[in-house]
Amino acid sequence: MALTLAQRLDLLTVRAEELSYWRVRESQPVDGWIVDGQSIALGAAWPEVDGTRRFSVDASVPSTWPLSETRLRLDLGGESLITIRDDKGAETSYGLDPNHREFPLTSHRFSVSSTTVARLPFGEPVRQPKLAMAEAIWVDPQVERLALLLKQICETIVVLGEHEVIPHLLNAGEKTLRSLDWPTETQAYISRTASAPMQQKVWRLPEVVASPAALTDAERDSVRRAYETLIATLDDLQKRFPPQGDVLLTGHAHIDLAWLWPYRETRSKLRRTFHTALSLMERFEGFRFNQSTAHYYAQIAEDDPKLFDAVLEKVKTGQWETVGGMWIEPDTMMPSGESLARQILYGQRYFEKTFGARHTVCWLPDCFGFSGALPQLLKQGGLENFFTIKVNWSETNRFPADLFWWEGLDGSRVLTHTFDNTPHGYNGELQPHDIHQTWRNYRAKDKHDTTLLAIGHGDGGGGVTPEMLVRHEQLSHFPALPKTTWGHVADFFDGAQTSAKSVTLPVWRGEIYLELHRATLTSQSAVKRLHRKAERSMITAETVSSLAHLLGGEKPASEEAAWRVVLKNEFHDILPGSSIREVYEDAEEELMETIGHAESVQKAALAEIAAHLPAGDAGDALLIVNPSLDARRCEIVTPEGARLVGASDIPALGVAIVPRSAIKTPKPVEATARTLENEILKVTLASDGTIESLYHKPSGREAIEGRGNRLMAYLMEKPRNWDAWDIEGDYMQKGEEITHVESLEVIEQGTARGAIRIVRRWRNSSVTQVLSLASGSPRLDIETEIDWHDRRVFLRSITETSVRAMSATYECAYGVVERPTHVNRSWDAAMFEAAGHRFVDLSETGFGVAILNDAKYGHSTFGNVLGISLLRAAVYPDPLVDEGYQRFTYALMPHEGAWYQGHVREEAEALNQPLLVAPVSDRAAGVWQPLSVDGVPAGLSALKPAEDGEGVILRLYEPAGRRGTVNIQPPAGWQVSEPLTIMEETSGAKADELKPFEVKSWRLKR
């Protein structure tokens, strides 16, 4: 009876699988192992589990085994870096993990040493590690390659579906198996196949021998002939059914800087992965491998200089491609614009200094959305191209293009490519499935005839395997499948850029929002707050140091070393809150040290500023410095902790010496048990502590329609898959309002500030909030302290406003993004939680309400309701995420006009960076403005020491989408350069114009 094609495929698969049991001709155990100075037998458990264990052994293999066919097969019980030393003392290192277990030997006598941890690539603990396997094997390469070739034929038939080449492939495979001269002797056959799944189900197997006979020379010769014939048949079929499509392969090993393992383990992963890649380059000349992240190379240079030198050599030969152009692969939705600029500045400078060239491709395969500020920054950094695959992870709407121009907020464009290789993504395995599906899913075939595909195990590192490279050699003979070629990522984009000159590519404008992983805007609140404070403290430290220089002090030193710590902790699994507890213990320590460093720089700079101001008789006075580009009301906290509000503003980048006695509050704030009132706002609380009224006196408008600052605890917030990453769209279906007020009392009244403290209890947790209003302030601050001890809860504050608008304004890096307040379309409905930096504003014509914050990123705007996410108590991968104490402030701010007319950004800046204050004496009272900027309202990104050469760099950005002139007035004796890029090089831009959302830099020097 004739079999169907499907039945023939099953038969071919089953028969081909059996060949692999003859792959190993002979084997022998490698024993005599030592672990940390103690003997350990094969199969024995480790005497100690925690930390790094060191295994070693001296061994030999029979002299009759040909070394080209001899391999060492190991499973030491976890991930390892092994070093094999031959009989002449030459050493070669490899990464050992579940995907890399076999290693070549170059001499019959050898020794092995390792550093090993009881972990698997994704950080999973090996609960009972043991020396599971250590053997030398003599491989039959003829059998090995034929088994793999037949396997690939079966895989190809599956992926090609009903393609007309399938009967021909089946015929070729069946003919190959029939041509084999195969052994049949009972005991050898049973022994060889004893490990097969079906044989393992037998009630009791017959006696098996430890070293069953291998193929005879005649049998092996039939395998060789069968392989050669099959390759020739495939070549003939390829002529009849030529390859469909072109796929450029790049070897890759995505290595998360920290995720399900701490950073100290990543340092070991880097060494393991780099050694593996180098070993494959020695064995496969055409192989090409790429690795991003300047920080990784700097770390390897420190940890293993010899390995680093080997990488340098392969970079010179072109086998190893450095890519990315950034310091690390950061999250791009939460860092400030200046942080993103520093990622590129310090990344590109490192690559140029170390490898002799900057990059042209930004490589960010695995980030959770992409800021609309990026294209402009990439262009200024020389990165004309952008790569990611994460856009394909959106759950609701399919991203509409895979080769397109991405246009940023300011209109800058970068050529962007993404490939869709489900489910392997950027961890391609070089199977027919990966190649065929990636080409089939590629939608820009008519625009550019090649797509990219990254190959290699990743996330936890590891990279490419020898089998993948053999697969590629074999697949070059296959019909119908796309043609594959190892190449460089930069070369792919060069070709795509050429194609883009003659075709019209789609354009995507603004941010790329990922419809997934929305909880990463909230998880791990503590590190998000520390990061915000660290980047802000560093910017301020550089600003005041530069102001001191402009006033006559010495040029401050580059702060690159401290910035590198901030940038490291912006990694796309650290800042988003998706890592294990140990990662955050490290991050919090590093960020606190950076904050301490920045504050010490600020303190020294204030002393330097004071030293260069005129002497006088101001007496007991305060030095007040405004490190922003906006005039500020004189609202300060003295070094002794007193809150003062003066009548006069401090000018932008201004310096004032003010006698303490001269700081007089214009009008004290009135406070009662349920009200706060100053010249601008009157706040009335309900009995449950929520805001009943927020009356804006200048406009005569009530800002609340319902209640404000309702604390909502959404229960059983358990996503389908990614626990700390995701928020499900139905989270609002089960929520409890926290209404139990334990106490409500006035704690400040009749002074420069009025304040009411509210203590609430909910289940096992408490929330203490101080609602405060300063004299002359347009915002109501809500200082929040939480002591949290509940799981599976999503805590939010929601405010029902008296504003109607179809969209809301969210601050982002170097600008704003408009988001819907409705769910008219699936794209709108999917944006139910989104990133906002320091403010989110809801405005109708003439009036609006903003919510400001100093530590939060997750927000929502539904109809007239402003929401801000405060914490999210998930249980994986950190069972104690957001547990315990945390402190932050958010604020409500009604205003007249649009957000930019109501000075919302300026108030958000003041909330995040108060005026700097230091006590002084023997100085003259007065106000100085060493640097002024006039014209279109701009935001200060940085005032920093130049990385190379003299002077300081002033970086401004237009934050609201306006256009106008800008006039920079430096101190006498200083000059302003032509506009510069973020790389601090001449840009060619117009000197006196600032366009919508444009980022522009200048050098100021004497």
Name the residues annotated as catalytic: 366
Residues 255, 269: Cα–Cα separation, whole Å:
8
Residues 70, 61: Cα–Cα separation, whole Å:
8
Residues 94, 105: Cα–Cα separation, whole Å:
12
Count of Cβ atoms closer than 10 Å to residue 922 Cβ: 11
Both tokens of 621, joined, read: 């006075």
Whether the CB-CB separation of 796 and 867 falls below 8 Å is answered with: yes
Q: Is 197 helix (H, G, I), strand (E, B) or coil?
A: coil
Residues 645, 77: Cα–Cα separation, whole Å:
65
Residues 67, 328: Cα–Cα separation, whole Å:
41
Give the dihedral of Cα atoms 458, 461, 467, 468; nearest 10 deg: 40
Which among 631, 664, 621, 632 has a CA at the least distance from the CA of 645? 664
Both tokens of 407, joined, read: 């246009």
Which among 610, 481, 522 has a CA at the least distance from the CA of 158? 481
Whether the CB-CB separation of 35 and 46 falls below 8 Å is answered with: yes
HEC sequence for 83-97 = EEEECCCCEEEEEEE
* Residue partners of 229: CB distance under 8 A and separation at least 6: 175, 176, 179
Number of H helices, E strands in the chain: 18, 53
State how far the alpha carbon of 100 is from the alpha carbons of 76, 97, 796, in Å. Answer: 12, 5, 46
HEC sequence for 651-683 = CCCCEEEEEHHHCCCCCCCEECCCEEECCCEEE
HEC sequence for 91-132 = EEEEEEECCECEEECCCCEEEEEEEEECECCCCCECCCCECC
Which among 185, 180, 857 has a CA at the least distance from the CA of 535? 857
Give the dihedral of Cα atoms 279, 280, 284, 289; nearest 10 deg: -120
φ/ψ region of 356 (left if φ > 0, alpha if ψ in -120 to 50, else beta) reads left
Residue 199 DSSP symbol: G
Count of Cβ atoms closer than 10 Å to residue 88 Cβ: 8
